[in-house]
Structure 1
């Protein structure tokens, strides 16, 4: 899993410009673009504007706001000229994606205030596909982009949306309020989700998308450069849990899995995350592991402390739980240093009776 998103942007732009070039003789100015308030001409210009804006964010390494510029068409530019601009701005975004290092993040407001190159690529592809659909709908033209491209977008910036088997385009349209799916209520509000990143002194905890989780679970790298011996088996198992929750529609990015990446060299050293969203009482379970070559340096403690503090700062979280093997003294020291305390024997007994806690495990908790 090593793609930068450049190929996907080019594929999306090609599907867009093929339709728009064939439609250049239609009344773009006088035709509303599908369900949008814009006409088709304004929507086409917006596609070009998004592509160059995303390229600008990454190239300029913007961290606090959008780079303050926008694109305008020369006076007298016809519809075919607008298509040329879409093609050009798409090429610029693709080139930027291919030359931006993996660890670079730039500002985007939704929902965690930043995105990496893959996130900007997915947002760019989504803008192209969806607004091409809007124009096609307005002009009464058929349009359906490649299914693989739609699935690529969904597994990167729509982790909260349950995929519809064999219907990624219909799922993407439904997820953005543009279509219906059997058994699902129509959406009137929607927003995509880039991955969450939590920083510590030596690490960044990088949220794992369903796409990355699937690759990790299948034996790949998830798009990360790993330290020798990584990822550890626990990380691959946790990635499988992410895939399952995504397929069920139960995955939420902030309650998923994170890969621990060292700031000094960009190498991934382990994984950490939750076993699911908090329950009705505000309780959530955490787990973690490290590649063997990264152990004994305090990385797990540093990561667990940061993850716990982030979670417990929320109003809907009251208690975090960690289950540790009785014989695993190093892991017991990790949770203790991260502010967790041993649960009472009565609590452990109840956990065994009610939740099937294995006898070899000991419970630790940290309260808000």
Structure 2
């Protein structure tokens, strides 16, 4: 998701709305919104410039407090010119902003990167174009986004990772934002963007992997990350595949999934770390991790596991859904045993079987140690 997608969404909007610029917008309600069609067009432009401003200024605690004044727009064509201009601005900022940059956005973890702002911009343009089309009484097909760039699929995977994808991505996006109905799914009355969680450590940033990136990693790509030589490793690709499977099944919970470890000094990815799912009924959640060979021996994984544990501990205090972290380590993997030991895990089994049981329960000799880190009593 980048500048090309923003440009395509804006061009679609201009083509659709340009054909009805001679209609009465100010006196016509925009679909299910409380705004009229003119106000909705103004909102599109305001969103585009706001996202460009956030990404350019990179504030960390609030929105940059500026607005654009469209009082001098005498007609609908003037409004479309403002949308065109603000779309160009967001496109340019997205294309020139480094991948590691984050700026304030409230949902849900108070920050977004260039892909997040691009995706939010695309979604605002597509959805509000639909609202205006619906308000003006045009056929619903007039607002359907162009095929080829996968705009709706990527917006869903990037901003709605908790939503099970459907056969029709546009229909699913409309449903997820309270604009349509889908068979066997309850109507949506409230919704918010869901940008990935980033956890800050000393030398690393643990960057949440959204389903679109997970699919790319699983299929042999980079997931949008710049990796050191030799990465990503097979374990990362396997984990990413499980993330995407959970997304397709509608059970993906982004904060309990996978993170790529990005080195602050150069922005390169050195490994991956993550949960094997949400906490169970006892509040226990299993973790797994791996490093690219060239990054081993520098304490990166110890630092990353500590950061992940600190986040889980704080989460447990706030919501009470996690009590401990659990790790299963091969008996021959001394470096991995060192990681869990240094980060406070205690060995709870010397004989853990491959089936998630002790060797005695599994009926065979366990080839792993099991460790647990209690986060609270």
Fold shared by both chains (TM-score > 0.5): yes
> What is residue 275 of structure 1 aligned with on the other side?
276
> What is residue 75 of structure 2 aligned with on the other side?
78
Select which of 315, 320, 336 maps to 2:325. Answer: 320
User: In the TM superposition, what whole-angstrom CA distance separates every residue of 1:110-165 from its partner, at most 9, and x where no partner exists?
Assistant: 00000000000000000001111111111111321135211111111111110002
Are 2:25 and 1:28 equivalent residues in the alignment? Answer: yes
Report 1:47-66 matches (<5 A).
Answer: 47-66=44-63
Q: Judge conservation of contact 2:351–2:368 (CA < 8 Å) in 1.
A: no
Q: Judge conservation of contact 1:312–1:367 (CA < 8 Å) in 2.
A: no
Following superposition, the deviation at residue 61 of structure 1 comes to 1.4
Q: Judge conservation of contact 1:32–1:38 (CA < 8 Å) in 2.
A: yes
- Paired with 2:365 and 2:213, the residues of 1 have a C-alpha distance of 30
Runs of 4+ in structure 1 over 3 Å off: 344-350, 352-358
Return 5+ residue gaps in structure 2 as ranges.
Answer: none
> What is residue 371 of structure 2 aligned with on the other side?
364
Are residues 350 and 170 of structure 1, via their aligned partners in 2, closer, same or farther at CA, if it must alter by over 3 Å?
closer
User: In the TM superposition, what whole-angstrom CA distance separates every residue of 1:242-298 from its partner, at most 9, and x where no partner exists?
Assistant: 110010011111011000000011110000001111112211110000000000100
> What is residue 200 of structure 1 aligned with on the other side?
201
- Paired with 1:357 and 1:272, the residues of 2 have a C-alpha distance of 29
User: In the TM superposition, what whole-angstrom CA distance separates every residue of 1:300-352 from its partner, at most 9, and x where no partner exists?
Assistant: 00001110111122221011100100111110010011111100459879834
Following superposition, the deviation at residue 356 of structure 1 comes to 10
Q: Judge conservation of contact 1:252–1:277 (CA < 8 Å) in 2.
A: yes
User: In the TM superposition, what whole-angstrom CA distance separates every residue of 1:13-56 from its partner, at most 9, and x where no partner exists?
Assistant: 11111111111121111111111100000000000000000000
Q: Judge conservation of contact 2:199–2:307 (CA < 8 Å) in 1.
A: yes
> What is residue 146 of structure 1 aligned with on the other side?
146
User: SS at 1:93's partner residue?
Assistant: helix
Q: Judge conservation of contact 2:350–2:369 (CA < 8 Å) in 1.
A: no
Report 1:33-44 matches (<5 A).
Answer: 33-44=30-41
Select which of 10, 17, 21 maps to 2:7. Answer: 10
- Paired with 2:4 and 2:361, the residues of 1 have a C-alpha distance of 50
Following superposition, the deviation at residue 354 of structure 1 comes to 7.5
> What is residue 128 of structure 1 aligned with on the other side?
125
- State the superposition RMSD in angstroms: 1.8
